[in-house]
Amino acid sequence: MNRKRTVRVPASSANLGPGFDVMGAALDLHMEVDVVETGNFAVHTDLKIARDRRNLIVRGFAALHPVDGFEFTIRSDIPLSGGLGTSAAAIVAGLVAADSIFELGADLLAEATRLEGHPDNVAAALLGGFVLCTNSHAERFEPPPNLECLLVVPSQAVRTQKAREALPSRIPVADAVFNIAHASLLVLGLAQGDLSLISRGLGDRIHQPRRAHLYPRSWELVQSARDLGALGATISGAGPTVLVWCDFESTSTVAERLQELVADGWAEVHRVPFTPTGAEVRSL
């Protein structure tokens, strides 16, 4: 009785342009949950999320151990409006808490991928840094030291299901080849810390253009990001949040220009570094 853990999990951005359902990055925004064995089940939070067994942290925990007798207190500074891996962070938090409390040694990436349906966000949330994923494996590498990012977070959300439905079951070979080439450039640029390669590697023809009608202002920003002085921009996950990629020397200038573009209040601009740190757990 009275076992306690605090788990801290980062937000994440998935796809990163050409790496649809394959690439992701951890961001320095966090969800934190205290899990305490009290003999009662309860969920405590000020967030507008489920406070019963539908809660994704609870579901993550329950995938490894019954939740009866545990209380969950949840805090988060991850915007809920979409595209920043809130569901992945929640699932990973629940899994990590149960695995730590009961010393299970579970395959957390496999469990998280099963619950989330795809590996990119959960791998980034679990491992930190940048990740490159297959269905059963994730490779992690460090964020380049001179690479920064800005987030443009619209107030209007886009439902992930709608974003999925916007994609066709088949795509032209030319689009697939384009994405393979650009994802390869992006991975090489990230691995070598070459910002010019990263900039050239952000192109995508598979998901973003086909979803543009769901987030027209976000898509307009993606297309104009280089004119603002950025390396480029990508839709974060299913959107509508935009990840604006920057050289650290130009980030402040780009941020000022972005603030002008959102002056009418359709979105907020946040300076949020990539983070090398994934899910962390400590005893309360």
Task: Please give the class, per CATH, of domain 4-141+275-282.
Answer: alpha beta
Q: Give the whole-angstrom CA distance, residue 74 versus residue 67.
A: 15
Domain with CATH 3.30.70.890 in the chain: 147-271
The whole-number pLDDT of residue 164 equals: 86
The whole-number pLDDT of residue 156 equals: 85
DSSP label at 77? Answer: -
Place of tokens 């390669």: 197
> Residue 265 is encoded by which pair of tokens?
């209040």
Q: Give the whole-angstrom CA distance, residue 279 versus residue 120.
A: 15
The whole-number pLDDT of residue 229 equals: 97
- 126, 277 contact by CB (below 8 A): no
Taking residue 1's Cβ as centre, other Cβ atoms within 10 Å add up to: 6
The whole-number pLDDT of residue 256 equals: 97
Least Cα distance to 39 among 65, 3, 64 occurs for 3
Mean pLDDT by 10 residues, the chain (284 residues): 90 97 97 96 93 96 97 94 90 98 96 94 98 92 95 88 89 97 98 97 97 95 97 95 96 97 94 96 79
Q: Give the whole-angstrom CA distance, residue 91 versus residue 75.
A: 14
- 90, 75 contact by CB (below 8 A): no
pTM comes to: 0.94
The CA-atom distances, in angstroms, between 277 and each of 123, 141, 203 are 12, 11, 27
CATH 3.40.1030.10 fits 147-271, yes or no: no
The whole-number pLDDT of residue 73 equals: 98
The whole-number pLDDT of residue 5 equals: 96
Domain with CATH 3.30.230.10 in the chain: 4-141+275-282
Q: Can you tell me whether residue 281 is helix, strand or coil?
A: strand
- H-assigned helices in 11-85: 56-62
The whole-number pLDDT of residue 1 equals: 60
The whole-number pLDDT of residue 34 equals: 97
> Residue 228 is encoded by which pair of tokens?
């603002």
